[in-house]
């Protein structure tokens, strides 16, 4: 970080954050705030892809070389004509070293976003290589970009900077390379992110052995992890080996009211008693579901038997 930029942020170079996060990392961290494993690795700055590899579950590489090159070329094109593309011809390109407090410590943010300052207001600009076709883009990709942009907006707000809560997304138009800008309101993502960041427990552990630390920390796997976290294959395998209900998704886990293992679900369903893990209401619901299933299986078997008998009778 240059002295000038550091001063702009109210920091001295001696106060440079020890860790630097990407906005994608932070968005993923807050996507699963109950996961102590992810929080531990992120707050100690461990290389999660490296840890996943050492645990025997490397993440497949994401984008193809072609897609990365195309994305970089598009971003360079956007940077070269940023003010005109974003409609802020009177503004200026701003450079701010971003930092944010995460789990009780100040971290730096990788400068993946571009900033335009116009009329004393900063605008976060994200250049993305997915296309906007006839004014529409993939909703999943737009919301991932919005979550990412919200990290930059929140960082700027917490640094006391005036920043728009509408970010500017710049994408190729209709499969061409022509950049087109669209405004995205990130107020909702911002409030979710702020709430989840504020709830993160203080960082623990010194990251001396990140593999051992990852194994020891409590995880909270959900299928959504596959799209957001480098350790997803390891955690999925662990959840399956432990028969964790987490592996079936958050909605199933919530419906089960805190029953954490498939074995316990089956025990409660067959016995109708809670046994201290879940309340009796959940056990009663599970038991009723079990009886309905048994009745449905019995009736299906009866229908099959009748059909079989009819077939035999018809064949005589
Ligand atoms: S993949 Fe594992 S470490 Fe990553 S957020 Fe999910 S449960 Fe946590």
Atom number, ligand 1, closest to the C-alpha of residue 231: 1
Regarding pTM above 0.75, the answer is no
> Do 186 and 23 touch, CB atoms closer than 8 A?
no
Ligand 1 pocket: which of 214, 226, 235, 242 to mutate (most atoms within 8 A of CB): 235
Nearest 5 degrees, angle CA 229-CA 143-CA 170?
Answer: 110
Cα distances (angstroms) measured from residue 251 to each of 149, 272, 295? 27, 22, 25
- Lining ligand 1 with CB less than 6 A are 32, 35, 37-38, 219-221, 225, 229, 231-232, 235
Q: Give, using CA atoms, the residue closest to atom 2 of ligand 1.
A: 235
Atom number, ligand 1, closest to the C-alpha of residue 41: 3
Atom number, ligand 1, closest to the C-alpha of residue 38: 3
Ligand 1 centroid to 99 CA: how many Å? 24
Rounded to whole angstroms, the Cα distance separating 214 from 234 reads 10
* pLDDT class of 56 with cuts at 50, 70, 90: very high
Q: Which of 49-63, 147-161, 223-237, 302-316 has the highest mean pLDDT?
A: 147-161
Rounded to whole angstroms, the Cα distance separating 295 from 309 reads 21
Rounded to whole angstroms, the Cα distance separating 309 from 284 reads 37
pLDDT tens readout for residues 87-134: 999 999 999 999 998 878 888 998 888 999 999 999 999 999 899 998
pLDDT tens readout for residues 4-20: 333 334 344 445 676 78
Rounded to whole angstroms, the Cα distance separating 27 from 100 reads 13
> Do 124 and 153 touch, CB atoms closer than 8 A?
yes
Ligand 1 pocket: which of 31, 37, 43, 239 to mutate (most atoms within 8 A of CB): 37
Place of tokens 């992110």: 193
Ligand 1 centroid to 77 CA: how many Å? 35
Ligand 1 centroid to 282 CA: how many Å? 27
- Whether the per-residue pLDDT at 315 is higher than 50: the answer is no
Task: Report domain extents, the chain.
Answer: 3-199, 218-299
Atom number, ligand 1, closest to the C-alpha of residue 217: 3
Atom number, ligand 1, closest to the C-alpha of residue 224: 6
- In this prediction, residues 132-142 reach a mean pLDDT of 89
| Predicted local confidence at residue 205, as pLDDT | 56
* pLDDT class of 2 with cuts at 50, 70, 90: very low
Ligand 1 centroid to 19 CA: how many Å? 20
Fold of 3-199: Lambda Exonuclease; Chain A (3.90.320)
């Amino acid at each position: 970080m240059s002295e000038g930029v550091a001063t702009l942020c109210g920091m001295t170079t001696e106060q440079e954050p020890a860790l630097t996060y990407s906005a994608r990392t932070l968005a993923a961290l807050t996507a699963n705030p109950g996961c102590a494993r992810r929080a531990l690795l992120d707050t100690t700055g461990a290389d999660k892809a490296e840890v996943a590899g050492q645990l025997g579950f490397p993440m497949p590489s994401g984008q193809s070389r072609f897609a990365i090159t195309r994305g970089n070329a598009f971003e360079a094109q956007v940077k070269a004509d940023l003010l005109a593309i974003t409609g802020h011809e009177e503004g200026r390109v701003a450079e701010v070293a971003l930092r944010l407090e995460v789990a009780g410590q100040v971290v730096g943010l990788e400068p993946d976003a571009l900033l335009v300052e116009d009329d004393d207001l900063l605008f976060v600009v994200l250049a993305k290589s997915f296309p906007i076709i006839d004014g529409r883009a993939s909703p999943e990709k737009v919301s991932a970009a919005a979550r990412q942009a919200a990290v930059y907006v929140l960082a700027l707000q917490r640094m006391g900077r005036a920043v728009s809560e509408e970010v500017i997304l710049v994408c190729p138009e209709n499969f061409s390379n022509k950049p087109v800008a669209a405004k995205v309101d990130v107020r909702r993502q911002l409030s979710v992110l702020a709430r989840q960041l504020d709830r993160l427990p203080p960082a623990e552990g010194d990251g001396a052995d990140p593999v051992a630390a990852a194994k020891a920390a409590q995880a909270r796997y959900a299928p959504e992890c596959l799209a957001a976290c480098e350790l997803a294959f390891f955690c999925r395998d662990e959840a399956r080996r432990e028969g964790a209900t987490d592996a079936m998704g958050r909605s199933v886990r919530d419906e089960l009211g805190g029953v954490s293992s498939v074995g316990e679900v089956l025990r409660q369903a067959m016995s109708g008693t809670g046994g201290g893990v879940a309340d009796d209401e959940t056990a009663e619901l599970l038991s009723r579901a079990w009886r309905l299933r048994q009745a449905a299986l019995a009736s299906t078997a009866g229908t099959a038997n009748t059909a079989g008998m009819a077939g035999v009778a018809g064949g005589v």
